[in-house]
Amino acid sequence: MTDSATTGILDAVTVPEGEGRPIPDAATREVIGHAPVHTVADLDRAIDAARAAQPAWNALGHTERSRLLHEIADDLEAHADELAELLSREQGKPLNGPNARFEVGACAAWTRSAADIALEPEVVFEDGPVRAEVHYDALGVVGAISPWNWPMMIAVWQIAPSLRMGNTVVSKPSEYTPLSVLALVEVFNRHLPPGVLTAISGDREVGAAIAAHPGFDKIMFTGSTATGRRIVESSANNLARLTLELGGNDAGIILPGTDVAAIAETLFWGIFINTGQTCASLKRLYVHDSLYDEVVDALAGLARQMPMGAGLSEDNVLGPLQNEKQFDVVTRLVDDARERGARIVTGGEPAPELGPLFYRATVVADIEDGAPLVDEEQFGPAIPVIRYSDVDDAVARANASEQGLGASVWSADPDAAVEVAKRLQAGTVWINNHGAINPFVPFGGVKASGYGQEFGAAGLKAVAAPKVISR
């Protein structure tokens, strides 16, 4: 069954029952549509079509491709309500707050930014008549593998800059959220020539085939570190360029003297955005002794009052875990913390009265490094709050993770915060914020959180082939 508001977009992307895989509503588990089950043979055909379409698409030039991207952004905005409601049902995030409507708006914003960012040839050497310039050409065909937590937005991060630079794209959504990305691609394809962008809704076999396929010139992947390592191995034979945005166990450090009341709500959303299911959300929080109890109480108070429930309710701002596997991860990590003697300040249990995959917003205190809830990426609505007394020790513990996607420093003293930020091993360090991203500011991880950058001019260069012209 489908809601009337989403029927139009669903009709364009779903297949009849019996011909596809049922996709449940994340909150109610009611089937909302059936996703096509594409195969490796379908992938081969999509790559062939992309390869054939790429020269003409590239020949259009930046001005025409940018004009089409602006048309697409306009169309995304025109269908924002339909897209947000489908996204809310399939992924689980509520319409309001930094959730479904926010995500669809971000799709339009990132599409426009990909169209508008200037990327002129760079003069890197000039001495009299001798001159060397770096130009950026299309790579060819891009394979884009996106995750289930921000399915539309992250797909756009991969698709829009690739198209702007003259590449064609084959996009594979997560098996958990295919309909949202199929709907997104449906809107894009109302403005693009055939073969320029194709979505392949397949299983893990199809994803593995993308990484190893000789028809791709570039692979973009957002997902787990373990899968990222497999993609690196699989791509060795064809030497496709890679952009990997992998897992993050982001640390935050609250310095002494911080005004807790002033930062509390921003801190809360840095942790619990998308019910904690965000690669670059704050996953472990180190708080100085002098502020520890105040921070724990502030977070717990906000966690208790934030409305949680089905996404289509206009009142809710926290939703369910998207799938059973992630629900089980969060449950295991919080139960382990309890068994270790950590203090469950609020939450710490499922909310079955809301639905089968809801887990209450959870604040865990009196816990140390070494507990799985601290050392592993929980990717859900549970935050461990760790006490520290020495800033150098807090920095060392924050850096002890193999991952380094994001981090944050919270302080009333901007200069002190910057000094600590310089010492943290992360691709982005925010001050008095966490997870705030900008389409014009490069974003990417270090260590086991991947490599390559997205957004801004750096993101355009990442989906292009640099060519030096010397004269």
Q: pTM of the prediction?
A: 0.96
185, HSE (Cβ side, Cα atoms, 13 Å):
28
- Per run of 10 residues, the mean pLDDT along the chain (length 471 residues) is 55 92 97 96 98 98 98 98 97 97 98 97 96 98 98 98 98 98 98 98 91 96 95 92 96 98 98 98 98 98 98 97 98 98 98 98 98 98 98 98 98 97 98 97 97 97 98 92
**Rounded to 5 degrees, what angle do the CA atoms 158, 163, 167 make?**
100
> Cα separations (Å) of 440 from 8, 116, 117, 134, 163?
33, 10, 8, 21, 17
What is the structure's pLDDT at 204? 86
What is the structure's pLDDT at 233? 94
Rounded to whole angstroms, the Cα distance separating 348 from 344 reads 6
Of residues 279, 376, 377, 454, which has the active-site annotation? Answer: 279
Token output for 149:
């937590």
What is the structure's pLDDT at 10? 84
Question: Are 33 and 18 in contact, with CB atoms under 8 Å apart?
Answer: no
What is the structure's pLDDT at 101? 98
What is the structure's pLDDT at 3? 44
What is the structure's pLDDT at 463? 98
Complete domains list, the chain, with CATH: 4-246+449-470 (3.40.605.10), 250-431 (3.40.309.10)
Token output for 413:
């003293």
**Rounded to 5 degrees, what angle do the CA atoms 375, 379, 385 make?**
50
The partner residues of 285 in beta bridges, in order of sequence, read: 252, 385
What is the structure's pLDDT at 191? 97
Q: Indicate if 454 belongs to the active site.
A: no
Of residues 90, 103, 245, 454, which has the active-site annotation? Answer: 245
Residue type (1 letter), 343? R
What is the structure's pLDDT at 271? 98
Q: Indicate if 279 belongs to the active site.
A: yes
What is the structure's pLDDT at 5? 44
Token output for 70:
């602006």
Token pair 């096509």 is found at 36
What is the structure's pLDDT at 7? 55
